[in-house]
Structure 1
Amino acid sequence: MVCAIVAVVGGGRAAADPGAHVTGEAPLGGRAAQIDVYSPAMGRVIQNKVIKAAGAGAPTLYLLTGAGGGADGISWWDNTDVRHFFADKFVNVVMPVGGAFTLYTDWISDDPAVGRVRWETYLTQELPGVIDGLLGTNGRNAIAGVSMSAASALDLAIQGGPRFSAVAALSGCPWAADPTGIAMASAQAVRGGGNPGNMWGVPGGPAWREHDVFANAGRLAGKAIFLAAATGAPGAADRGLPMPPLETIAGACTAAFAGRLAQLGIPAVHVHRPTGSHTWGQFESDLHEAWPHLAAAIS
């Protein structure tokens, strides 16, 4: 599950990929709906849980879940109060379903176990254009991830250039293309049965360096950045099965990345909680605290 204030860079409205399109929509109660979108890059339809803003002209928050990708019934949608929390907020919240153990990146080769993985293309090029056109957004976006997807959110904010004006990484472990980072990122692919070599090629090679968030942290300049993690000690916010070792690691990783940003002179909000043990109760509290910082950058 292991894996993120400030001037703003305009994202601008992006045209949808000609082949990316809505294939179906089903109501989920209130302003929520499941919106299915065909991804040309992956050659399949992706489900997205969407909380629509009350009218056109709203920004969009892309909210990524943990290692299981939400298809396992463990997600922001299933385990937190996102529907209630965002009900009175002028923002579209888009929660893709899928991407288990993929790091939400583009794999350089198709994999026998996980198939064709092009989540970076989907999240930075295909889906935003579809959402902009369907919901009449203001073209400004934020992205947030938790646990496995916390580092992915940072990577996507880097790779997407002006696509995302704000990013939040919650209880994750930003990676570097060093032995520790390679082992950590590879472990996620292996957990899903995939071959890490099909993800970014030879360990430490060009693709790994391209996705090294420490080496490329300077490309986050001008974005709103929110980082949060805890010590692993169980606390009042915890809900569900506590996983102290994971959160202790996430806390150390997150602090290291906050230090990297400080070294570069890039402003960021860094919350290091004295208690919290990698549970959805903790993640929910962190999202609540992150939201005002993200909102200020995209509204």
Structure 2
Amino acid sequence: MGVAVALLAPLAVALSDVAPRVAAAPNPAGFDFWVDSPEMGPIRSRVFRAKDGNTNRVVYALDGMRAPETHSGWENDTNIANALTDWNINVVMPIGGMSSFYTDWNAPSSFVGLPPTGSSSGSGALNVISEGPGKSYRYAWETFINQHLRWALNSRLGFNPNRNGVFGLSMGGSGALTLAAYHPDQFSFAGSYSGYLNISAPGMREGIRAGMIDAGGYNVDSMAPPWGPQWLRMDPFVFAPLLRDHNTRLWISAGSALPGPADGFNGNTINGMGLEALALVNTRAFQVRMMTLGANNVTYSFPATGIHSWTYWEAEVYRMLPDLSANIG
């Protein structure tokens, strides 16, 4: 166990996109959609309407571990909103949720009960004393997406609340499968790119602990106590039978951890290779689990090149699009 922790923790320094976000302008096709959460206050999402104007086909795109309060990485670093809307799919991008795993937390994030006392910039252990979302209140992202956002989209925009799709990268991939597993009436399709789908494997909790400290200074123990029902409930490897039994259409992907020619050879590439190797091991374990369960509702995509970066996740959306389109609405 100690060896596993030593190997995994350094790889978990940033369990999401590894390249710095660029200061991109918002996509003018999208608009802000605010919804109140009783636990978290007003939460903003970005909405992109389907090209043909339908309200029946809806997909949620979830961000990674460093999800900021400004715009989703999907809008900031990719062009997938335009691709999806061209396929006549409405796109919803919830904003925020850094280190949240899009789940309902046990308590506000804190260390030994201490409240946040200041601000910190950059990454690293100093983030544990910084203020931030989910520290003065309890994260309740699963409830927000399943109840408050879902029904606000229905009542105010007429969006279909059933047979939606959901996908995400890294942390968001794990969150997408969790949402689909426990809310099959809302989600008929779920996609995970480079997700951590075997979080109870040896060393994974401590790897996630290190990643959450680096990504905003969050405490994994505030999310879910170790190895209890709440933790196991959010482990895709554990709840895999639900996805099989609901016949949820799944798209499960991870790269080979080998960089492509455009990646260059620098610190971001090396970090992205390590992170993707970890995601690949997790994703392959989930694949074996589903195969032993006799599940035939999954498409697996394991490209020959691909590290933990937006370039490869954007490409994966294009590969997934026909399957997504055929299984929502």
**TM-score interval for Structure 1 and Structure 2 normalised by the shorter chain:** 0.7 to 0.9
| Counterpart selection for 2:316 from 255, 279, 286 | 286
Structure 2 contact 57–164 (Cα < 8 Å) conserved? yes
- For residue 298 of structure 1, give the secondary structure of its aligned residue in structure 2: coil
Is the Cα–Cα contact under 8 Å of residues 54 and 88 in structure 2 kept in the other structure?
no
Q: Counterpart of 1:142 in 2: which secondary structure?
A: strand
Matches within 5 A, 1:71-220: 71=69, 75-111=73-109, 112-113=115-116, 114-115=134-135, 116-139=138-161, 140-191=163-214, 192-201=216-225, 203-220=226-243
Q: Counterpart of 2:31 in structure 1: which amino acid?
A: A
* Alignment length (residue pairs): 273
- CA distance in 2: counterparts of 1:128 and 1:187, whole angstroms: 32
Partner of 2:4: none
Alignment TM-score, normalising by the size of structure 1: 0.84
Decide which structure has the larger Cα Rg and report it: 2
Partner of 2:203: helix, strand, or coil? helix
For residues 87 and 199 of structure 1, what CA distance do their matches in structure 2 show? Answer: 34
Matched, 1:250 2:279: yes
Measured at CA, do residues 264 and 220 of structure 1 come closer, stay the same or move farther in structure 2, by a change above 3 Å?
Answer: same
Report the counterpart of residue 18 of structure 1 in structure 2. none
Backbone CA RMSD of aligned residues? 2.2
Q: Which residue of the partner structure matches residue 257 of structure 2?
A: 232
**What is the alpha-carbon distance in structure 2 between the residues aligned to residue 173 and residue 108 of structure 1?**
20
Deviations 1:83-106 (A, max 9, x none): 321232211100011000111111
Q: Which residue of the partner structure matches residue 58 of structure 2?
A: 60
- Name which of structure 1's ranges 171-180 and 245-254 shifts more when overlaid on structure 2: 171-180
Q: Could you tell me which of 216, 223, 243 is aligned with 2:248?
A: 223
Contact 2:181 2:243 (8 Å CA) reproduced: yes
The alpha-carbon deviation at position 28 of structure 1 amounts to 5.6
Contact 2:67 2:73 in 1 (8 A): yes
Deviation of 1:63 (Å): 0.3
Comparing 182-191 with 207-216, greater Cα deviation is found at 182-191
Quick one: distance in 2 between partners of 1:36 and 1:147? 25
**Alpha-carbon offset, residue 238 of structure 1:** 5.4
Find the aligned partners of 1:238 and 1:287 in 2 and give their Cα distance. 19
> Tell me, what secondary structure is at the counterpart of 1:110?
coil
CA contact (8 A) 1:103 1:148 kept: yes
Deviation at 1:56, TM superposition (A): 3.6
Change over 3 Å in CA distance of 1:213–1:87 after alignment to 2:
closer
Residue identity in the other structure for 2:15: V
Aligned CA distance change for structure 1 residues 74 and 46 (closer, same or farther; 3 Å): closer
Structure 1 residues not aligned, in runs of 5+: 4-26
Partner of 1:45, secondary structure, is strand
Question: Structure 1 residue 195: deviation in Å?
Answer: 2.4
Residue-by-residue CA offset, 1:198-251 (whole Å, 9 max, x unaligned): 2112x1112112222211101012111001111111125759943111111111
TM-score (norm 2): 0.77
From the two aligned structures, give the one with the greater strand fraction. Answer: 1
Which residue type is aligned with residue 226 of structure 1? W
Structure 2 stretches of 5 or more lacking a match? 1-13, 17-25, 110-114, 117-133
